[in-house]
Amino acid sequence: MARRAVGSGRSAIDDAPARRAHSSRPTGQSSKRRDQTAQTPKLDLRAVALLGAKTFQNYIGGERMDASSGGTFESTSPANGDSIGTFPLSKAEDVDQAVAAAKAAYEEWRLVPAPKRGEVLFRFGQLLIDQKEDLSQLMTREMGKVIAEARGDVQEAIDMAFYMGGEGRRLFGQTTPSELRDKFQMSVRTPIGVVGVITPWNFPVAIPSWKMLPALVCGNTVVFKPATDTPLLGERFVELLTEAGVPPGVVNIVHGGGGAVGEALVRHPDVRVITLTGSRETGVQVLKAAADGLKHVHLELGGKNAIIVMDDADLDLAVEGITWSAFGTSGQRCTAASRVIAHAAVYDELAGKLVRSAERMRLGVGWEDDTDVGPVINRGALEKIHSYTEIGKDEGAKLLTGGEIASGDGLSDGFYYRPTIFGDVDPGMRVAQEEIFGPTTALIRVSSVEEAVRAANGVKYGLSSSIFTRDVNKAFRAMRDLDTGITYINAGTIGAEVHLPFGGTKDTGNGHREAGQAALDVFTEWKSIYVDYSGRLQKAQIDTSS
């Protein structure tokens, strides 16, 4: 599965390590690592500085082990190139081992009462609270997002841990009357088995929590492949789950690229569920590869999200919402506002305010408090984002600000791109159609709410949308007509909370949702149970006259 040159930058399964792959060096850690996990010291800045010196292993069936091939890859900081750590470059044999461990552990985990499984998640939530600052500091270094957003990412996982922990005492089914006498019936949710979890780098703690925590509370076991750009955060996630009491084999981590580990997981006959957040193209490949096995596949793919600004909007509020949604996380959210559809009456004023707001943003390393925009994830992403600036210019869009790789003041050591705004964008242009996954947004001029909604819907994706208006009628029309899984009124396109369904329409996914109650549908089968206590054979649909 080849990495695409353009398109979504957040490709999890095909993210074969963008960085150096080299042969393994001796680790001397073997299974002793398990003990170290229990007493993992809190990361302070000194510990963070030492990170590059560490070599990590896979965690399979409660044992630490190198990749069977002995290969490794290195994780480095997009902020300044510092080494974060060295990780096993696993292959299909490692996946086989992990799946066998998860399959064996399933037989016991599925029988642990769901409230007890929920209690493990509560403990995990508490550990995340205790480790929030350390994880956030680590995240700003390994993934690059600014520290306030890193804390938000961890908080989202905390919220999910408590939400899904509570599901342990719900997991509601239905009871219904029977058409026959002396007969009882109900539906119950049952776990499915081994779940393959393939996650991206942009929410390296939150997204694994959206997938693994519902999978676990429902009684499944997990083989987890974190993105090769953020393996240490994946590692810490599993260490904390283990510390919270997840038994050996219930969660296994296999590091490595999508072409080897991801594909082996998707094709493995004993993996019954695949959940992937990644690019549209990867999603299609996964769906095809999983088709022969008739697996449950949950896909959370791209977005090309629009913010509509009507002529009656509070413009300053809209500018704040757009700035946050377009340039927060350096635009690397699937919910990022990469289009702004503005009413002609306010277009010029809005464009001027937006350009000033973008130009005020300070680029830098995420762990400095006054940084507004951190780096993008890697050189490939930087080049792809810049290629869209060239595409936009060639298409005739007007570059209002940005459009360049940032350098100077230490920025040349990392992958920094200036917040970029295109004006006079035609809704059909590539910069208005394709997911760029960087700090670039496109301004489109319209003259009515109907035209705005048409433009907003005129893309293949359908994740998030927003409208700024003070007219309740327009707001309700937009809520009804915007064809997306998430719609905001007088807020940007980002900021979903964990207890409502998260996902999108059209090419954003395949009809499933994560988060909220909807997530349970991905990780359970329904079983309908009929109990006849009449003592005789009653035939449904036939013996129904009494």
* Active centre residues (catalytic): 300, 334
Choice between 215 and 400, CB closer to ligand UN1: 215
Stretch that binds ligand UN1, among 64-72, 379-387, 421-429, 494-502 (CB under 6 A): 494-502
Binding mask 497-516 for ligand UN1 (x = CB under 6 A): --------------------
State the nearest-atom distance from the C-beta of 224 to ligand UN1, in Å.
17
Choice between 29 and 155, CB closer to ligand UN1: 155
Span between the terminal Cα atoms of the chain, in Å: 61
Q: Quick one: tokens of 325?
A: 């949604």
Alpha carbon separation from 469 to 191, 323, 336, 359 (Å, rounded): 44, 17, 20, 25
Q: Fill in the DSSP letter of residue 190.
A: E
Rounded to 10°, the helix 206-217/231-244 angle is: 30
Q: Fill in the DSSP letter of residue 2.
A: P
Stretch that binds ligand UN1, among 44-52, 82-90, 405-413, 488-496 (CB under 6 A): 488-496
Choice between 59 and 488, CB closer to ligand UN1: 488
Residue among 114, 238, 307, 334 that touches ligand UN1 (CB under 6 A)? 334
Choice between 381 and 411, CB closer to ligand UN1: 381
State the nearest-atom distance from the C-beta of 324 to ligand UN1, in Å.
10
Q: Quick one: tokens of 23?
A: 């042969």
Total count of residues recorded for the chain: 546
Q: What residues contact 258, with CB distance under 8 A and at least 6 apart? A: 1, 11, 12, 13, 14, 15, 16, 198, 225, 282
State the nearest-atom distance from the C-beta of 300 to ligand UN1, in Å.
7
State the nearest-atom distance from the C-beta of 399 to ligand UN1, in Å.
26
Stretch that binds ligand UN1, among 99-107, 328-336, 468-476, 503-511 (CB under 6 A): 328-336
User: Binders of ligand UN1: how many residues, by CB under 6 A?
Assistant: 10
State the nearest-atom distance from the C-beta of 350 to ligand UN1, in Å.
22
State the nearest-atom distance from the C-beta of 161 to ligand UN1, in Å.
15
Q: Under rule CB under 6 A, which residues in 134-163 are in contact with ligand UN1?
A: 156
Choice between 32 and 460, CB closer to ligand UN1: 460
Query: Which single residue is written with the structure tokens 């702004």?
Result: 340
Binding mask 188-207 for ligand UN1 (x = CB under 6 A): --------------xx----
Whole-number Å distance between alpha carbons of 336 and 327? 8
Amino acid identity, position 439: P
Whole-number Å distance between alpha carbons of 501 and 504? 9
Choice between 376 and 494, CB closer to ligand UN1: 494
Alpha carbon separation from 541 to 131, 174, 529 (Å, rounded): 58, 21, 17
Whole-number Å distance between alpha carbons of 244 and 126? 9
Q: Quick one: tokens of 359?
A: 């130009």
Beta bridge partners of 296: 273
* Residue among 371, 311, 316 at smallest CA distance from 345: 311
Q: Under rule CB under 6 A, which residues in 199-258 are in contact with ligand UN1?
A: 202-203
Whole-number Å distance between alpha carbons of 67 and 91? 7
* Residue among 368, 361, 440 at smallest CA distance from 145: 368
* Residue among 198, 260, 259, 248 at smallest CA distance from 223: 198
* Residue among 520, 501, 513 at smallest CA distance from 170: 520
State the nearest-atom distance from the C-beta of 513 to ligand UN1, in Å.
13
Stretch that binds ligand UN1, among 29-37, 286-294, 399-407, 491-499 (CB under 6 A): 491-499
State the nearest-atom distance from the C-beta of 156 to ligand UN1, in Å.
6
Whole-number Å distance between alpha carbons of 262 and 254? 9
Q: Under rule CB under 6 A, which residues in 262-321 are in contact with ligand UN1?
A: 277
340 alpha carbon, distance to own chain's centre: 23
CB 367 within 8 A of CB 139: no
Choice between 252 and 335, CB closer to ligand UN1: 335
Q: Is the dihedral of CA 25, 31, 36, 38 positive or negative?
A: positive
Residue among 216, 496, 519, 522 that touches ligand UN1 (CB under 6 A)? 496
Q: Does 495 bind ligand UN1 (CB under 6 A)?
A: yes
With H, G, I as helix, E, B as strand and everything else as coil, classify residue 213. Answer: helix
Q: Does 97 bind ligand UN1 (CB under 6 A)?
A: no
Choice between 302 and 392, CB closer to ligand UN1: 302
Q: Under rule CB under 6 A, which residues in 445-484 are in contact with ligand UN1?
A: none
Choice between 9 and 193, CB closer to ligand UN1: 9
State the nearest-atom distance from the C-beta of 464 to ligand UN1, in Å.
7
Residue among 494, 519, 520, 522 that touches ligand UN1 (CB under 6 A)? 494
Specify whether the backbone of 212 is left (phi greater than 0), alpha (psi in -120 to 50) or beta: alpha
CB 237 within 8 A of CB 227: no
Q: Fill in the DSSP letter of residue 431.
A: G
Stretch that binds ligand UN1, among 92-100, 163-171, 493-501, 518-526 (CB under 6 A): 493-501
Q: Does 335 bind ligand UN1 (CB under 6 A)?
A: yes
Stretch that binds ligand UN1, among 13-21, 43-51, 489-497, 529-537 (CB under 6 A): 489-497
State the nearest-atom distance from the C-beta of 94 to ligand UN1, in Å.
27
Choice between 249 and 516, CB closer to ligand UN1: 516
Q: Which residues bind ligand UN1 (CB under 6 A)?
A: 156, 202-203, 277, 333-335, 494-496
